[in-house]
Structure 1
Amino acid sequence: MRTLEINKNDAGQRLDKFLQKRFKTLPKSLMYKYIRKKCIKVNGKKCEIQTMLNEGDVLTFYIKDEFFENAQPKTYEFMKAPAKFDIVYEDKNIILIDKKPGIIVHQDKSYHFDSLVARVQHYLYDKGEYNPEEDKSFSPALVNRIDRNTGGIVIAAKNAESLRILNQKMKTRELEKFYLCLLYGKPKKDNDILKGYITKNEAKNKVSVFKKEVEGSKEIRTKYKILDFNGKYSLAEIELLTGRTHQIRAHMASIGHPLVGDTKYSNKKAPDGFKYQALYSYKIKFNFTEAAGNLEYLNGKEFEVKRVWFAKNNHISL
Structure 2
Amino acid sequence: MREVTIGANEAGQRFDKFLKKYLKEAGSGFLYKMLRKKNITLNGSKADGSEKLTAGDRVCFFLAEETLEKFRGAPGEVTAPDKTASNSSLRPDLQIPVIFENEHILLVNKPAGLLTQKAEAQDYSLNEWLTDYLLSRGKITADQLRTFRPSVCNRLDRNTSGLVICGKTLAGSQKMSELLRERTVHKYYRLFAAGRMELEGVTQAWLIKDEKNNQVRILSAEPKGNKAAAHIVTGCRPLTFFPEYTYAEVELFTGKSHQIRAHLAALGHPLIGDAKYGNKACNDRYRRLGIHSQMLHAFRVEFPVMDGCFADLSGKSFTAPEPEAFLRLKTQ
Q: Distance in 2 between matches of 1:93 and 1:218?
A: 32
Q: Deviations over 1:94-131 (max 9, x none)?
A: 1110000111111212x525211111111111111111
Partner AA of 1:274 in structure 2:
I
Tell me which residue corresponds to 1:260: 272
Tell me which residue corresponds to 2:63: 63
Q: Distance in 2 between matches of 1:75 and 1:241?
A: 37
Unmatched tracts of structure 2, length 5 or more = 80-87
Tell me which residue corresponds to 1:224: 236
Q: CA deviation at 1:311?
A: 2.9
Q: Which moved more, 1:147-156 or 1:291-300?
A: 291-300
For this pair of structures, how many residues does the alignment match? 313
Q: CA deviation at 1:317?
A: 4.0
Q: Deviations over 1:244-290 (max 9, x none)?
A: 111101110011110011111123331111221111101111024xx
Q: Which moved more, 1:272-281 or 1:62-71?
A: 62-71
Instruction: Check if 1:141 corresponds to 2:158.
Output: no
> Contact conserved, 2:90 with 2:133, CA < 8 A, in 1?
no
Q: Distance in 2 between matches of 1:132 and 1:60?
A: 21
Instruction: Check if 1:286 corresponds to 2:286.
Output: no
Change (3 A) 1:297 1:184: same
> Contact conserved, 2:32 with 2:48, CA < 8 A, in 1?
no
Over 6 Å off, 4+ runs: none
Tell me which residue corresponds to 1:316: 330
Q: Select which of 207, 210, 232 maps to 1:198.
A: 207
Q: Distance in 1 between matches of 2:310 and 2:32?
A: 36
> Contact conserved, 2:153 with 2:167, CA < 8 A, in 1?
yes
Q: CA deviation at 1:80?
A: 4.1
> Contact conserved, 1:72 with 1:133, CA < 8 A, in 2?
no
Q: Which moved more, 1:194-203 or 1:86-95?
A: 86-95
Partner AA of 1:65 in structure 2:
E
Q: Deviations over 1:137-192 (max 9, x none)?
A: 21222111111111110111111111111111111111110001111101244x13
Q: Distance in 1 between matches of 2:150 and 2:245?
A: 40
Tell me which residue corresponds to 2:291: 274
Q: Distance in 1 between matches of 2:126 and 2:324?
A: 19
Q: Distance in 2 between matches of 1:292 and 1:23?
A: 35
Using the aligned pairs only, state the percent identity.
Answer: 31
Q: CA deviation at 1:135?
A: 5.4
Change (3 A) 1:275 1:77: farther
TM-score normalised to structure 2 length? 0.88
- Output aligned runs, 1:207-218, within 5 Å: 207-214=216-223, 215-216=226-227, 217-218=229-230
> Contact conserved, 1:85 with 1:98, CA < 8 A, in 2?
yes
Q: CA deviation at 1:308?
A: 2.7
Tell me which residue corresponds to 2:169: 159
Tell me which residue corresponds to 1:296: 311
Q: CA deviation at 1:67?
A: 4.4
Change (3 A) 1:157 1:221: same
Q: Distance in 1 between matches of 2:269 and 2:155?
A: 25
> Contact conserved, 1:82 with 1:114, CA < 8 A, in 2?
no
Tell me which residue corresponds to 1:237: 249
Partner AA of 2:292 in structure 1:
K
Q: Deviations over 1:50-71 (max 9, x none)?
A: 0122211111112343443242
Q: Which moved more, 1:153-162 or 1:111-120?
A: 111-120
The 3-state SS of whatever aligns with 2:156 is coil
Partner AA of 2:323 in structure 1:
V
Q: Distance in 2 between matches of 1:219 and 1:245?
A: 12
Q: Deviations over 1:205-253 (max 9, x none)?
A: 1111111110232211111111111100111100011111111011100
> Contact conserved, 1:7 with 1:135, CA < 8 A, in 2?
no
Change (3 A) 1:253 1:60: same
Q: CA deviation at 1:81?
A: 5.0
Q: Distance in 2 between matches of 1:266 and 1:213?
A: 24
> Contact conserved, 2:196 with 2:242, CA < 8 A, in 1?
no
Change (3 A) 1:74 1:143: closer
Unmatched tracts of structure 1, length 5 or more = none
The 3-state SS of whatever aligns with 2:16 is helix
The structure where helix makes up a greater share of residues is 2
Instruction: Check if 1:120 corresponds to 2:135.
Output: no
Tell me which residue corresponds to 1:91: 102
The 3-state SS of whatever aligns with 1:120 is helix
Change (3 A) 1:107 1:38: same
Q: Distance in 2 between matches of 1:254 and 1:134?
A: 46
Partner AA of 2:16 in structure 1:
D
TM-score normalised to structure 1 length? 0.92
